């Protein structure tokens, strides 16, 4: 172990111990206290907007010198409008119902005990994300509201912005009588610390990565802690033989073009061969009118000449105005295509046939499965979660859009009257 | 990579691919088909009991030669009575409600879409367990009923028994029109295969270890797949200042002595100092009358002379007729003791005071928290799950007793009417 590693390990130990200690009172914090802290944080952010922008301009200057690309610089940038959006986000989270303490149902068992499941905080959450300072505030707000302590490790290019933002959040915690270590920033840009964090199973209960594929894959491979991860969204719309074709066209165009750079956007359109000839010219014209480049299988090209799709198109997340189209011979073939090439994110059938819709809903193994709706609805806000910390493509604990509830777990609670076991 | 490793990797690849292929039709299998397979398996087990016992006697002979201890030999042994118990277990699982396909609630969102969560199988489950052939049947039954494919890796000493049992289960699957590879046995006792299984993240969605601490720890350390694990049960009963002392004594004696070798048995009794003097002589006499060796803190000894408890007693899972007792100055001190020394398994307060009970339920961070009930109730059958594949001491996905529902996950389902996103 080099001296540098030792320093890192002790920094993570220190942050971890502090987070664990803070998680205990956080578990018992009332909704009122947590909401107070969130609202106070909003007002501190508004008050300190000059300091935040100064720190951010420092990050932007270093980013320009480092040659960050335009998209990265845009994600890094904070201005008055974005600070106001962050503060409104804090206020919105304060207004959400608190999941902690909820018991949905208490059932009496034959022994006489009353049994239920109570929502509780997970404990300590480790957030690892790219250089987007707004994530510092958004993630901390959701972790705080759900009664967790959080250790934040944002991208190194945003360190100066994050430092000021984290200080604002911690001040709000203290002034609300809560433990300031419920929000901690890894105030060190050494990449080795990410590795330490991923192995800190004594302190951190779950790691949530937010960022591109390479970050998420590193986290998934190295983590010795459960991860709630978000990988690709290769989403499909399947137009069934019994589809309302006008509806199908509207849904396909919306799912592809309403916003194309997001994970719930459409990437591959599957069309039942019985309606290919009537549907394809109409939908392709509508897509091309919106500037979409269409790539089609051989049968697609038989109905309407477009660029030929290659095998790799079926497993590509374009995140751009490109769409692949495949004609399939049956609903079963559509399901098989989706379960083979898809990413188990969001897939939709368009059909007026009851049996077809039921079968699709049952057999497609994705975190969101839809019937006669645009894939773009797979979103925490559209699902009524009020907020979203990410979209999970994992199978356990939580799938799809993750809101406050996904940041909690459940414990069994038993209310007895002196029952003993016979 | 040695040749041996190559063979192992390809065996696990083969089992994994077959399991993944079988998981697809299993996902869509009807309750009727799954129940038919379970009932058929029961009748095949009854019919083949001679072959099962012959294979088991072979294992028993090798076990004796290997010098297995008495407890291990007992767990390994199958006779007519135990085979009948396994077949009845299969029939009981067939009679349980099928969680797959359940949607608890469908809520209309402002956009018009109807949104709910549907229970679906997890996919492929890897079971790793010790030489207890009944686990082969119990685990396969629960995985089958919940629509999963399972790869079973039992202890090497039970390989001949497991081979016959797995063959019976696979025959029942085929004869019910289901994929026989929904149940597969790792028919190879090479310990390296456990490592291969723990890294088979391409094929296995979750690993469930069932066995002692060393097995569970190996799995937790080596697995590159989510694990539902079961570690120690260091369970507490806290007798509050406002306890009904007769009830407290009954609960303490029951929790310690009704069955002492199990994870939900009491290990440490915490007593509020206000009732120590009146309560301790009475409960210690009752415990000693049941043959319990009592070890007490200094204050315990001030009320009633017993052996002195050492620091390590507080973190020991005795699994025997031994109990440690500590006098605490407050409810908060009791909670702190439990959250420090306990294993977050099952803890109970005895109190007639509303505020004290509420506070204990909220603040104790264990998978089961009880009020005026024996810790022995933390059990899948007592909780009405109908069956239990283990008791999870993990925080995510599922905590406490795990039944069929814990072997499923949820996907979002959206029923639309042509909605598109604005």
ipTM score of complex: 0.91
pLDDT of the residue at A112: 96
Residue B395 binned pLDDT confidence (cut-offs 50, 70, 90):
confident
CB contact under 8 A, B27 and A365: yes
pLDDT (average), residues B292-296: 98
CA distance B199 to chain A (A): 11
CA angle B244, B316, B406 (to 5 degrees): 80
Measured CA to CA, the distance from residue B164 to residue A44 in angstroms comes to 69
Q: How many residues are there in chain B?
A: 422
Which of A195, A286, A197, A211 has the alpha carbon at shortest distance from A246? A286
Which class for A24: exposed (0-12), middle (13-18), buried (19 or more C-beta within 10 A)?
middle
**Residue in the structure block whose two tokens are 């999970």:** A392
pLDDT (average), residues B373-401: 90
Cβ pair B182, B122 in contact under 8 A: no
Sheet with B124-129, strands from edge to edge, namely B183-185, B149-153, B124-129, B206-210
Which class for A298: exposed (0-12), middle (13-18), buried (19 or more C-beta within 10 A)?
exposed
pLDDT (average), residues A221-237: 88
Distances (CA, A) of A74 to A133, A152, A260, B21, B380: 11, 21, 18, 44, 52
Backbone φ and ψ for A169, nearest 5 degrees, come out as: -65, -45
Among B250, B411, B415, the residue with its CB nearest the CB of A399 is B411
Measured CA to CA, the distance from residue A72 to residue A203 in angstroms comes to 31
Give the number of other CB atoms < 10 A from CB of residue B389.
27
CB contact under 8 A, B414 and A101: no
CB contact under 8 A, B412 and A396: no
Q: State the alpha helices, DSSP H only, in B67-211.
A: 70-76, 80-95, 133-145, 159-175, 192-198
CA A66 from centre of chain: 29
Query: What pTM, to 2 d.p., does this model score?
Result: 0.91
Q: What sign does the CA torsion over B257, B262, B264, B270 have?
A: positive
Question: Any chain A CB within 8 A of the CB of B412?
Answer: yes
pLDDT (average), residues A276-289: 97
3-class DSSP state of A237: strand
Instruction: Write out the two tokens for B212.
Output: 């002692």
Instruction: Write out the two tokens for A173.
Output: 């915690």
Radius of gyration over every alpha carbon of chain B, rounded to an integer in angstroms: 24
CB contact under 8 A, B418 and A247: yes
DSSP string, B55-91: HHHHHHHHHHHHT--HHHHHHH---HHHHHHHHHHHH
Residues of B in contact with A355 (CB under 8 A): none
Cβ pair A128, A215 in contact under 8 A: yes
Measured CA to CA, the distance from residue B265 to residue A398 in angstroms comes to 31
CB contact under 8 A, B377 and A401: no
Measured CA to CA, the distance from residue B180 to residue B200 in angstroms comes to 20
Contact map slice: A 245-284 vs B, CB within 8 A: 247, 250-251, 254-255, 258
Where are the extended beta strands (E) located within B273-321? Answer: 293-296, 307-308
pLDDT of the residue at B9: 58
pLDDT of the residue at A9: 58
Question: Any chain B CB within 8 A of the CB of A216?
Answer: no
Measured CA to CA, the distance from residue B265 to residue B376 in angstroms comes to 6
Measured CA to CA, the distance from residue A243 to residue A279 in angstroms comes to 10
Measured CA to CA, the distance from residue B409 to residue B100 in angstroms comes to 9
Cβ pair A183, A158 in contact under 8 A: no
CA distance A60 to chain B (A): 33
Measured CA to CA, the distance from residue B113 to residue B111 in angstroms comes to 6
Instruction: Write out the two tokens for A169.
Output: 């959040």
**Residue in the structure block whose two tokens are 């309560």:** B279
Residue A2 predicted with pLDDT over 50:
no
CA distance B232 to chain A (A): 16
* pLDDT tens, position by position, B138-155: 999 999 999 999 999 999
Cβ pair A315, A234 in contact under 8 A: yes
Q: State the alpha helices, DSSP H only, in A185-244.
A: 192-198, 213-222
Residues of B in contact with A247 (CB under 8 A): 418
Where are the extended beta strands (E) located within A134-277? Answer: 149-153, 183-185, 206-210, 235-239, 266-272
Cβ pair B411, A368 in contact under 8 A: yes
Measured CA to CA, the distance from residue A361 to residue A353 in angstroms comes to 12
CA A109 from centre of chain: 38
pLDDT of the residue at B289: 98
CA distance B52 to chain A (A): 33
pLDDT (average), residues A249-253: 98
Average pLDDT score, chain A: 94
3-class DSSP state of B397: coil
- Minimum CA–CA partner of A252 in chain B: B420
CB contact under 8 A, B339 and A384: no
Contact map slice: B 27-86 vs A, CB within 8 A: 27-28
Domains within chain A, CATH numbers bracketed: 3-229+402-414 (3.40.605.10), 235-377 (3.40.309.10)
Question: Any chain A CB within 8 A of the CB of B367?
Answer: yes
* pLDDT tens, position by position, B18-76: 999 999 999 999 999 999 999 999 999 999 999 999 999 999 999 999 999 998 999 99
Probe site for chain B from A109, A419, A422 (most B CB atoms < 10 A) = A419
Residue B411 predicted with pLDDT over 50:
yes
């Amino acid at each position: 172990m080099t001296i540098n590693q030792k320093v890192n390990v002790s920094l993570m130990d220190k942050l971890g111990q502090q987070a664990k200690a803070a998680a205990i009172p956080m578990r018992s914090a009332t909704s009122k206290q947590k909401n107070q802290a969130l609202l106070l944080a909003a007002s501190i952010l508004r008050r300190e907007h000059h300091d935040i922008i100064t720190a951010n301009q420092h990050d932007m200057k270093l980013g320009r010198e480092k040659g960050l690309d335009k998209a990265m610089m845009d994600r890094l940038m904070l201005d008055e409008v974005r600070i106001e959006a962050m503060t409104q986000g804090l206020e919105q989270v304060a207004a959400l119902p608190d999941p902690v303490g909820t018991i949905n149902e208490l059932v009496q068992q034959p022994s006489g005990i009353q049994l239920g499941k109570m929502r509780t905080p997970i404990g300590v959450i480790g957030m690892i994300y790219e250089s987007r300072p707004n994530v510092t505030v958004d993630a901390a707000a959701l972790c705080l509201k759900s009664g967790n302590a959080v250790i934040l490790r944002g991208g190194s290019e945003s360190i100066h912005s994050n430092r000021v933002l984290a200080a604002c959040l911690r001040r709000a915690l203290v002034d609300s009588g809560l433990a300031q270590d419920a929000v901690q920033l890894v105030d060190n840009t050494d990449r080795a610390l990410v590795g330490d964090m991923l192995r800190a199973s004594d302190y951190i209960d779950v790691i949530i990565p937010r960022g591109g594929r390479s970050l998420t894959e590193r986290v998934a491979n190295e983590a010795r802690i459960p991860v709630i991860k978000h990988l690709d969204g290769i989403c499909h719309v399947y137009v069934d033989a019994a589809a309302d074709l006008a509806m199908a066209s509207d849904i396909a165009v919306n799912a592809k073009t309403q916003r194309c750079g997001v994970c719930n956007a459409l990437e591959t359109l599957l069309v039942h061969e019985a309606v290919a000839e009537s549907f394809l010219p109409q939908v392709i014209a509508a897509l091309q009118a919106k500037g979409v480049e269409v790539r089609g299988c051989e049968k697609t090209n038989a109905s309407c000449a477009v660029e030929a799709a290659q095998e790799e198109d079926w497993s590509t997340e374009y995140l751009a105005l490109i769409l692949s189209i495949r004609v399939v011979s049956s609903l079963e073939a559509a399901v098989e295509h989706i379960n083979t090439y898809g990413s188990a994110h969001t897939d939709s059938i368009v059909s007026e046939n009851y049996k077809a819709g039921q079968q699709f809903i049952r057999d497609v193994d994705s975190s969101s499965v839809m019937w006669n709706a645009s894939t773009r609805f797979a979103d925490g806000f559209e699902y009524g979660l009020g907020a979203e910390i990410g979209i999970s493509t994992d199978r356990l604990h939580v799938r799809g859009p993750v809101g406050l509830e996904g940041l909690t777990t459940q414990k069994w609670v038993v209310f007895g009257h002196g029952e003993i076991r016979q």
